């Protein structure tokens, strides 16, 4: 089976004349259309808002597109807060969900008056001492145990480092109310990259029921419930894409069944999607620069794990298209590699593909989220450019490629590297 790209060979050949490979390419049209679908799927909830997970694609031009589509920003660090604020995300437009949080991060979050999502009950006193307690705050809930869908274990929340236990949620709410908190949010994340449409509705039921219980136990006013992320994308061509409208309808039914009868029909629903919002609308464009014939057949690209870490880190699958050879038989078995001095620097192992020739353009699909953002400089490798394919078909360089001067910029060698570019 195959996957189609949002750019064709002729377009790509023109793009690479201006921007040398490797680079990450993003589809503005696809990003905007997807953001509108999500908003429409949850339009039944008057307070709905998507807080895009900045960590997935921390690129100002991409964040600006999402801001224009009505999204907020989900930040988890000092730097992400600074970036989001600089782009015009203000106060309620920013959700700050962090863990093992440094004091200065909380200080900045309070200065910007963003919504803070506490990860641990000990953070209550830590936040109060560092920056004071706001009137609106959220707590992250970890229900523990195993999370299953149709009797299949999707993940084990009890192994995750995040969140309050259920007893701690009640205790934490009471402590926070004593400290002046008037409005609460509840947040939880149970499993990642779920293409099962049942995931969000099941999570919603857990959080909605918890919200009702917490209101009864503490009298707290719960103003929002944040379903966080976890909706996945079909990385493999045989996987189906999750229907966001079915997901939204499933959450609506749970809302009507649990919250409305409890007099909580005014609760706003928030999401913090990253992969779902951006994943399919980005790709890594590379060129085949070497071939090797030993015990296996290898094709070496000018990209490496420094440009896309997921296959190396997780053994993750990313579909590969050899541009211009989409209709040729996939009758060659290759390991597709980068040039790091690490044997696990492989984008694919034993992948059946059309014959690849030196100079062929190769596209790695679904890198729009957790692609560029997970890049690094091991082996002195430099991170690539990011290019936006605009709705009108033109392109824009939205992040230039790093240079050796960038790599050496944090060193002080009294001018030794001053002439490096």
The string of pLDDT tens digits covering residues 301-320 is 999 999 999 999 999 999 99
Angle between helices 244-254 and 199-218 (to 10 degrees): 30
Residue 237: pLDDT over 90 = yes
- Please indicate, yes or no, if residue 392 is contained in any of the structural domains: yes
Using CA atoms, how far apart are residues 93 and 51, in angstroms rounded to an integer?
A: 8
Q: What is the C-alpha R_g of the chain?
A: 23
Using CA atoms, how far apart are residues 119 and 101, in angstroms rounded to an integer?
A: 9
Asked if 66 and 131 sit in the same domain, the reply is yes
Asked if 159 and 252 sit in the same domain, the reply is yes
For residues 105-116, give the mean pLDDT: 98
| Confidence at 338, pLDDT banded by 50, 70, 90 | very high
- Please indicate, yes or no, if residue 17 is contained in any of the structural domains: no
Known catalytic residues? 341
- Please indicate, yes or no, if residue 16 is contained in any of the structural domains: no
- Please indicate, yes or no, if residue 57 is contained in any of the structural domains: yes
pLDDT of residue 151: 57
Higher pLDDT, 109 or 409: 109
Q: What percent of the chain has pLDDT over 90?
A: 89
Using CA atoms, how far apart are residues 224 and 137, in angstroms rounded to an integer?
A: 10
Asked if 275 and 309 sit in the same domain, the reply is no
Asked if 348 and 330 sit in the same domain, the reply is yes
Residue 49: pLDDT over 90 = yes
Tell me phi and psi for residue 5, to 5 degrees. -95, 160
Q: What is the CATH number of the domain that holds 380?
A: 2.40.37.10
Tokens found for residue 358 = 């030196």
* Residue range 145-158, pLDDT digits in tens: 877 776 565 668 88
Alpha-helical runs (H) found in 69-198: 78-86, 103-112, 123-130, 166-178
pLDDT of residue 414: 55
Of the residues 238, 263, 279, which one is the last residue of a structural domain?
A: 279
Total number of domains constituting the chain: 2
For residues 134-143, one letter each, b for 16 or more C-beta atoms within 10 angstroms of the residue's C-beta and e for the rest, the string is bebbbbbbbb
Asked if 71 and 161 sit in the same domain, the reply is yes
Asked if 125 and 200 sit in the same domain, the reply is yes
| Confidence at 419, pLDDT banded by 50, 70, 90 | low
Tokens found for residue 389 = 């394919």
Residue 298: pLDDT over 90 = yes
Using CA atoms, how far apart are residues 82 and 80, in angstroms rounded to an integer?
A: 5
Of the residues 253, 279, 305, which one is the last residue of a structural domain?
A: 279
- Secondary structure (DSSP) of 231-298: B----STTSPPP-HHHHHHHHHHHIIIIIGGGT-TT-EEEE--SHHHHGGGEEEEEEEEEEEESSSEE
Tell me phi and psi for residue 54, to 5 degrees. -55, -35
pLDDT of residue 155: 66
Asked if 149 and 220 sit in the same domain, the reply is yes
Residue 380: pLDDT over 80 = yes
- Please indicate, yes or no, if residue 6 is contained in any of the structural domains: no
Q: How far is CA 254 from CA 9, 178, 203, 214, in A?
A: 45, 31, 10, 17
Residues 6+ apart with CB under 8 A from 33: none
Using CA atoms, how far apart are residues 26 and 284, in angstroms rounded to an integer?
A: 9
Mean pLDDT for all residues in the chain: 95
- Please indicate, yes or no, if residue 189 is contained in any of the structural domains: yes
Cα–chain-centroid distance for residue 260?
31
pLDDT of residue 154: 61
Cis check for the bond before 22: say yes or no (omega within 30 of 0). Answer: yes
Asked if 187 and 56 sit in the same domain, the reply is yes
CB 348 within 8 A of CB 335: yes
Angle between helices 103-112 and 78-86 (to 10 degrees): 20
Residue 415: pLDDT over 80 = no
The domain in which residue 99 lies consists of 28-279
Using CA atoms, how far apart are residues 283 and 318, in angstroms rounded to an integer?
A: 10
- Please indicate, yes or no, if residue 32 is contained in any of the structural domains: yes
* Residue range 158-186, pLDDT digits in tens: 888 999 999 999 999 999 999 999 999 99
CB 229 within 8 A of CB 190: no
- Please indicate, yes or no, if residue 5 is contained in any of the structural domains: no
Residue 57: pLDDT over 60 = yes
Asked if 288 and 142 sit in the same domain, the reply is no
pLDDT of residue 416: 62
For residues 382-409, give the mean pLDDT: 95
pLDDT of residue 160: 85
Per the DSSP assignment, residues forming a β-bridge with 26 are: 282, 388
Asked if 215 and 131 sit in the same domain, the reply is yes
Of the residues 258, 279, 300, which one is the last residue of a structural domain?
A: 279
Q: What is the pTM of this model?
A: 0.94
Of residues 246, 145, 152, the one with CA closest to residue 201: 246
Residue 417: pLDDT over 80 = no
For residues 74-85, give the mean pLDDT: 98
CB 68 within 8 A of CB 49: no
* Other CB atoms within 10 Å distance of the CB of residue 238: 7
CB 390 within 8 A of CB 30: no
Q: How many helices (H) and strands (E) does the chain have?
A: 12, 19
pLDDT of residue 153: 56
Q: What is the CATH number of the domain that holds 173?
A: 3.20.20.10
Asked if 124 and 238 sit in the same domain, the reply is yes
Asked if 178 and 325 sit in the same domain, the reply is no
């Amino acid at each position: 089976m195959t996957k189609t790209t949002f750019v064709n060979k002729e377009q790509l050949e023109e793009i690479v004349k201006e921007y040398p490979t490797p680079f990450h390419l993003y589809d503005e049209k696809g990003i905007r259309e997807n953001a509108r679908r999500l908003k429409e799927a949850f339009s039944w909830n008057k307070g709905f808002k998507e807080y895009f997970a900045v960590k997935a694609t921390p690129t100002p031009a991409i964040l600006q597109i999402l801001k224009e589509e009505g999204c907020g920003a989900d930040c988890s660090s000092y730097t992400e807060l600074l970036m989001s604020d600089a782009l015009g995300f203000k106060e309620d437009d920013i959700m700050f969900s962090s863990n093992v949080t440094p004091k200065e991060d909380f200080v900045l979050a309070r200065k910007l008056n963003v919504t803070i999502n506490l990860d641990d009950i000990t953070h209550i006193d830590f936040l109060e001492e560092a920056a004071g307690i706001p009137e609106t705050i959220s707590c992250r809930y970890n229900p523990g145990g195993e999370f299953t869908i149709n009797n299949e274990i999707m993940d084990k929340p009890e192994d995750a480092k995040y969140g309050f236990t259920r007893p701690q949620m009640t205790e934490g709410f009471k402590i926070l109310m004593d400290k002046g908190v008037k409005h609460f949010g509840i947040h939880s994340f149970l499993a990642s990259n779920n293409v099962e449409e049942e995931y969000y509705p099941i999570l919603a039921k857990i959080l909605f029921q918890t919200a009702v219980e917490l209101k009864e136990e503490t009298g707290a006013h719960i103003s929002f419930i944040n379903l966080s992320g976890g909706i996945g994308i079909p990385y493999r061509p045989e996987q189906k894409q999750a229907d966001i409208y079915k997901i939204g309808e499933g959450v609506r039914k749970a809302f009507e069944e649990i919250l409305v009868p409890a007099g909580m029909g005014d609760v706003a629903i928030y999401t913090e999607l990253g992969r779902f919002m951006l994943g399919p609308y980005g790709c890594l464009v590379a060129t085949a620069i070497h071939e090797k014939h030993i015990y296996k057949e290898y094709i070496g690209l000018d990209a490496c794990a420094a440009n896309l870490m997921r296959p190396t880190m997780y053994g993750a699958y990313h579909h590969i298209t050899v541009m211009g050879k989409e209709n040729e038989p996939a009758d060659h078995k290759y390991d597709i590699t980068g040039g790091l001095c690490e044997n696990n620097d492989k984008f694919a192992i034993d992948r059946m593909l059309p014959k690849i020739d030196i100079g062929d353009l190769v596209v790695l699909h679904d890198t729009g989220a957790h692609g560029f953002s997970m890049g690094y400089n091991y082996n002195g490798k430099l991170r690539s450019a990011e290019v936006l394919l605009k709705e009108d078909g033109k392109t824009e360089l939205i992040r230039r490629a790093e240079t050796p001067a960038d790599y050496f910029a944090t060193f002080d060698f009294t001018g030794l590297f001053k002439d490096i570019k």
